[in-house]
Amino acid sequence: MSSINGVQVGVPGTSVTDEALLAWTAPEVLAGDSPPSFASDIYAFGILMTELDTYQLPFDDYDFDDEVALTTAVVDGGLRPTLRDDCQVWYRNLVGRCVDADPLNRPTAAYLVTTLQTLLDDALPALY
């Protein structure tokens, strides 16, 4: 079990409901235009990346009355979770590509693996 800034992982009784999963669901899936796909998985990964940057759940800095308001803001308004002001440019750009409104503009999983591995390889010598 782990907890960072109030976000708990692996704590019994704190599982999320289907309603809470909307935050990680791609706009085209929310709109009913497309079933879940590899591209919608990449969108969810991009949302996960915002959590890693902010240590907050997605859209935690917004106050929605219900899931319909969140869905409308994401699908019709293009709302995406925020990143920290000091977030690295490369990270911000990668998140932006992952959560692009057009699923055809999102990177593939293979691209993400290659990109992240290259960044890690470049960073490792500086750590030692």
The yes-or-no verdict on residue 37 having pLDDT over 90 is yes
Average pLDDT, the chain: 86
Give the pLDDT of residue 116: 96
Give the pLDDT mean for 6-32: 68
Confidence grade of residue 90 (pLDDT, cut at 50, 70, 90): very high
Burial class (CB in 10 A: 0-12, 13-18, 19+), 47: buried
Band of residue 25 on the pLDDT scale cut at 50, 70, 90: very high
* Tens digit of each residue's pLDDT (9 = 90 or more) over 58-67: 988 888 888 8
Ordered by where they begin, the domains of the chain are 2-127 (1.10.510.10)
pTM (2 d.p.): 0.81
Spacing of C-alpha 89 from chain mean position: 16
Alpha-helical segments (H) within the chain: 27-30, 38-54, 67-75, 89-98, 109-127
